[in-house]
Amino acid sequence: MEFGSITASVMTIAVGLIGLFVNINVAYAVKKCRTFGYAFGTLCLSQTVANIGNLCVFVFLTGGITIVEPSWHSTYLGRRSGQLLILFWEASIFTHLFISINRAIAVNFPIKYNTFFSENKTTNIIVGVIWLLSLAQAFPYTFPSCSMQFHPESFTYEYSSSVCGVLAEQIGDLYVSITVVSLIAILDVTSFLRLNQLRAHHTDRRSKSKELRMFFQACAQSVLLMLCECSFFYLSSLSEDVWFVFATTSFIWVLTHCLDGVIVILFSREIRRIILHTAELSTIHPSMTRYNATIRPSTAKISHVSSQYI
């Protein structure tokens, strides 16, 4: 089948629009959900915003410009699409990392959790740091010699062949992404092992179910990120077929951010209920959780954990 940039654009835009619909609904639900602690909810919102940002770039810049006037991709402003994709991608993986850190602290050091996340200001600073790091990662692409070039004829992005471009690709993108995703995997495994220990002293089946769903949600999102990285930097080099390269680079990229939102909906009953407008939001005040933890020492740790990140 002969490759067509318009066909690739339509496919990308279609997935992007579905992803936007999903992630915008997730963002709305996260804002409305009262069962999420402030820290976890804010980090989830940051993650969703990063997804929305990437999807908007693919829909309106990558796909949109290709359909309207492909030559615009060669202009300085046209090349900003690659820079924006890097910005939102880095924000996505850094936010995933801090969500895993948040969960790991809640599970392994529940008593000290409030030391790190009791104040909303701390969470806001963390989110600010995430986006500042992402901006720093994307900044080198501002220079023409370092810009990512989009090729409409193959519907793929290419790093610059200059020294700046090679460093940005290998160190700024590949190595940083692999390191962050590996840390996420390690943190999630430690959280799961600790949860197994805590569950031996916890008989609430509902809480057990939530813990498992949250863990598998984190695992699914981590695996999704790993597959995207593997596809973009490794699988795409296995064949020169244009459709194969498109599928393993640009298409898998936009699909990743679409599915990331889908995973949240699949694993979070509360989010599903809010999106479907059938939820009865929890009205339990945080102080009640602390009171219950005080009068029931045997379940204090697990109750504290659940109230913070589930």
Q: What is the pTM of this model?
A: 0.85
Quick: pLDDT tens for 125-145. 999 999 999 999 999 999 988
270 sits in which H/E element: helix 269-275
Quick: pLDDT tens for 208-267. 666 677 777 878 888 899 899 999 989 999 999 999 999 999 999 999 999 999 999 998
CATH class name, domain 5-139+149-278 = mainly alpha
Cβ atoms within 10 Å, residue 122: 14
259 sits in which H/E element: helix 252-267
CA dihedral 48, 49, 55, 60 (to 10 degrees): 160
Closest CA to 255 of 235, 275, 220, 225: 225
CA dihedral 242, 248, 250, 254 (to 10 degrees): 140
What type of residue is 290?
A: R
Q: Which residues, at least 6 apart from 75, have a Cβ–Cβ distance to it below 8 Å?
A: none
Quick: pLDDT tens for 38-63. 888 899 999 999 999 999 999 999 99
Residue 218, burial from CB neighbour count under 10 angstroms (0-12, 13-18, 19+): buried
Where along the chain do its domains lie?
5-139+149-278
Closest CA to 23 of 3, 2, 1, 44: 44
